[in-house]
A and B are shown apart, each in its own frame.
Chain A
Amino acid sequence: MEFEYPEKPKETHKIIVKKLLHGEFISIGKREYEVLWSYKEWYKSFFLDSFNIELLNSEEVFYCTNPTGGMNFTKEVLTVLAILMYEISKEDADPIIEIQNKEFSLDRINHYLSNSVQFSGYISNNKIETRFVNRLEQMGLAKKTNNDKFVFTRAINIFLKEYDDLTEQVIGMEE
């Protein structure tokens, strides 16, 4: 494949590669997303040919996965989000719509975690710390708003889809 960078600001390119190789998510609304979307096929080849890494994307998010990594943070996010959704669904609200659209705070999440009867102890001390939220933000999964609050970015849908895939895994195991 002949090497030809697409016309684009060099800095954005570096940010894109660095973020994706760090396992971060690039969601719609970001400058990097626009560049990725415009040169999608080029970037897919670039990642595959340069690093043997598959660049994945939905309509809203670009990301890469690495199944050989430690996965501690992935597991922690999956667990916190699962308890959160379970507890929200008990309040007769649609947990997915809440996760996708509502503002959250550390206190609100910890309220759900510490009051969960079914899933008490699934997260150490039944609470998360500020660094967890910071990490969410760093990975492109959350965006801080005002007053220590944050919203989940579109990238959270990749995690929601992950549950969908886990359901398939369970069905596969039962069969």
Chain B
Amino acid sequence: MPRIFSWNKKDTMMNSYGASIPNFVSTYFRFMSDVVRIVNKDGDNYITHEQLQLLADRDSVSITTLLKYKIARESDGVYEIHKRVANFIAFSNNEFALSSPESVKKFHFSLSALYDKLLRSTEANDIIIHSDHLISELRDFSDILDSSITRLLRDTLALKENTEKHTPQERFDIASGIIKEYVEPLNEIIEDRPDTILPLIRDISSLAMQKSFSYDKNIENKLRRLRFQAKYVHENTEQFGRKIISELFTLRKIKKTNSILSGAIAWLENKTTLTPKGLCNKMPIRVHSKAFFFEAIEELELLLEEDIDIDTPTLEEVSKSTKIEHYFHLDKTMYLTALEKALPVENIFKWIYNEMKKHNHLSYENYCITLSLLDRIDVSYSKVDRDILVFETCDLNIPVAKSTTILRGDNDGI
């Protein structure tokens, strides 16, 4: 049986201070917790010298010791905290950072590379090493998802309950930010598509299964552990996916609600500069297209007298005024009296046309006005037959509309 030599780089990176570090963390736990809280806030991943000094003075902590133990590292005037220490303290305090989608995506590359290595491995040693790496990497991936979702759920809840007393505009901005920066990209990474991490995890599991047939018990055990790890992480990732979709809905709702509220407040504050749509306004009525002109007639029946402000002066006004001598006065009584005698007429449109011609009133514009007579006439349209009326300015294609009765009105003698 070959000797199995497992060389894991992580195992050899012993920190020479051993128990001093947990002792230090334990002694100054409040200090460490506050530092980690600042580091994890908003994903900046650092604490400024001033902030660190303030906390160090408060709890009589030596920054030099912090650096000596490699718990912190100075970089360009700010301090970074060792990821493992920060994670441990955050974990102890049930505080989690929201991992950037990029840091989650990195696992796709690392797992993919490790999968290739395992695939090509034939030596027992190599299989053990790469399986170990895969188990560890899957674990890290799963941890980062757990930490992110815990933090995301908390942030969303705080936003939903508005514990920070943000204005609607701020809540809209925060919700938009989380959706755009974290939730949507994360969702894209962990969705079950051919090019995402989920099928890769399934491939890792299948590979572990295939390989385990050809090797001894030791390797078989290792590969079984890898398979179980892959299965667990696969389930965890799917669950993460479901949770993140649910958070996406909640956040979108918060965003929508606060967009509406924020718009409402913006309206109250900036009425003069904002332009709402003309809701509840009457429409400007004009017949737009000649082709559709008669299709609008039914509406004109309703609207001509009621909504279009046609200035029709009385006969006395017409006779008194010289200014409006060219104004067409529609003498409804005259037309209706003539019509009553002529009824039934085969095509009311043609009849009005001829009647206007007889009185020398005929023009396209006057004809449109005279059509307001239609609200007093019972009309039945033929959908098939049509006719053409010729005006000086245009020709009109009209339907044939038979008329037999004048509807009774209350303002004239007809």
Check if B310 is an interface residue, CB within 8 A of chain A: no
Q: Given A3-B292, A51-B287, A167 and B263 touching (CB < 8 A)?
A: yes
A71 / chain B contacts, CB cutoff of 8 Å:
276, 278, 281
A69 / chain B contacts, CB cutoff of 8 Å:
278, 281-282
Check if A37 is an interface residue, CB within 8 A of chain B: no
Check if A151 is an interface residue, CB within 8 A of chain B: no
**Which of B270, B292, B307 interacts with A50 by CB under 8 Å?**
B292
- A132-175 Cβ-contact flags toward B at 8 Å (1 or 0): 00000001010000000000000000111111111101100100
A85 / chain B contacts, CB cutoff of 8 Å:
260-261, 264
> Quick check: A67 and B278 within 8 Å, CB to CB?
yes
Check if A35 is an interface residue, CB within 8 A of chain B: no
> Quick check: A67 and B291 within 8 Å, CB to CB?
no
Residue of B nearest to A84 (CB): B264
Residue of B nearest to A78 (CB): B267
Alpha-carbon distance between A139 and B282 when the two chains are bound, in angstroms: 11
A166 / chain B contacts, CB cutoff of 8 Å:
263-264, 266-267, 274, 276
B394 / chain A contacts, CB cutoff of 8 Å:
none
Check if A128 is an interface residue, CB within 8 A of chain B: no
Q: Given A3-B399, A18-B303, A170-B263, A78 and B288 touching (CB < 8 A)?
A: no
B113 / chain A contacts, CB cutoff of 8 Å:
none
Q: Given A13-B298, A51-B286, A163 and B279 touching (CB < 8 A)?
A: no
A63 / chain B contacts, CB cutoff of 8 Å:
279
Interface size classification for chain A: 35 or more
> Quick check: A74 and B268 within 8 Å, CB to CB?
no
Check if B18 is an interface residue, CB within 8 A of chain A: no
Check if B257 is an interface residue, CB within 8 A of chain A: yes
Check if B358 is an interface residue, CB within 8 A of chain A: no
> Quick check: A74 and B286 within 8 Å, CB to CB?
no
**Which of B267, B275, B383 interacts with A163 by CB under 8 Å?**
B267
User: Which of A18, A50, A164 counts the most B-chain CB atoms under 10 A from its CB?
Assistant: A50
Check if B13 is an interface residue, CB within 8 A of chain A: no
Residue of A nearest to B283 (CB): A21
> Quick check: B278 and A50 within 8 Å, CB to CB?
no
Q: Given A49-B289, A166-B267, A74 and B307 touching (CB < 8 A)?
A: no
Alpha-carbon distance between A14 and B274 when the two chains are bound, in angstroms: 35
Check if B273 is an interface residue, CB within 8 A of chain A: yes
**Which of A22, A24, A50, A66 interacts with B288 by CB under 8 Å?**
A50
Check if B363 is an interface residue, CB within 8 A of chain A: no
**Which of A10, A141, A167 interacts with B262 by CB under 8 Å?**
A167
Check if B409 is an interface residue, CB within 8 A of chain A: no
Alpha-carbon distance between A79 and B302 when the two chains are bound, in angstroms: 33
A20 / chain B contacts, CB cutoff of 8 Å:
283
Alpha-carbon distance between A24 and B307 when the two chains are bound, in angstroms: 14
Residue of B nearest to A82 (CB): B264
Alpha-carbon distance between A31 and B267 when the two chains are bound, in angstroms: 34
Check if B294 is an interface residue, CB within 8 A of chain A: yes
Residue of A nearest to B306 (CB): A18
B293 / chain A contacts, CB cutoff of 8 Å:
50
Check if A29 is an interface residue, CB within 8 A of chain B: no
Number of residues on chain B facing chain A (CB within 8 A):
46
B265 / chain A contacts, CB cutoff of 8 Å:
82, 86
B292 / chain A contacts, CB cutoff of 8 Å:
1, 3, 46, 49-50
Check if B296 is an interface residue, CB within 8 A of chain A: yes
A18 / chain B contacts, CB cutoff of 8 Å:
299, 302-303
In residues 63-93 of chain B, which contact A (Cβ within 8 Å)?
A: none
Closest CB in chain A relative to B309 CB, distance in Å: 14
B289 / chain A contacts, CB cutoff of 8 Å:
49-50, 52
**Which of B262, B276, B298 interacts with A162 by CB under 8 Å?**
B276
User: Which of B276, B278, B293 counts the most A-chain CB atoms under 10 A from its CB?
Assistant: B276
In residues 1-17 of chain A, which contact B (Cβ within 8 Å)?
A: 1, 3-5, 10, 13-14, 17
Alpha-carbon distance between A173 and B287 when the two chains are bound, in angstroms: 37
> Quick check: A169 and B259 within 8 Å, CB to CB?
no
Check if A64 is an interface residue, CB within 8 A of chain B: yes
> Quick check: B295 and A50 within 8 Å, CB to CB?
yes
Alpha-carbon distance between A163 and B169 when the two chains are bound, in angstroms: 12
> Quick check: B282 and A164 within 8 Å, CB to CB?
no
Residue of A nearest to B266 (CB): A170
> Quick check: A162 and B261 within 8 Å, CB to CB?
no
B338 / chain A contacts, CB cutoff of 8 Å:
none
Q: Given A21-B303, A165-B277, A173-B273, A86 and B264 touching (CB < 8 A)?
A: yes
Closest CB in chain A relative to B397 CB, distance in Å: 9
Residue of A nearest to B399 (CB): A3
Alpha-carbon distance between A173 and B279 when the two chains are bound, in angstroms: 22
Check if B280 is an interface residue, CB within 8 A of chain A: yes
Given A65-B278, A86-B268, A163-B263, 4 new contacts (CB under 8 A): A20-B283, A21-B283, A50-B296, A162-B277
Task: Offer 30 A-B interface pairs, CB within 8 angstroms, sorted by A.
Answer: A3-B294, A20-B283, A21-B283, A21-B285, A22-B282, A49-B292, A52-B286, A52-B289, A66-B281, A66-B282, A67-B277, A68-B278, A68-B284, A69-B278, A71-B276, A71-B281, A73-B281, A79-B271, A81-B264, A85-B261, A86-B261, A86-B268, A94-B257, A96-B257, A158-B279, A159-B279, A163-B267, A166-B267, A166-B276, A170-B262
- 9 shortest A-B CB distances, which residue pairs? A69-B281, A163-B263, A82-B264, A167-B263, A52-B288, A50-B296, A49-B292, A166-B263, A66-B281
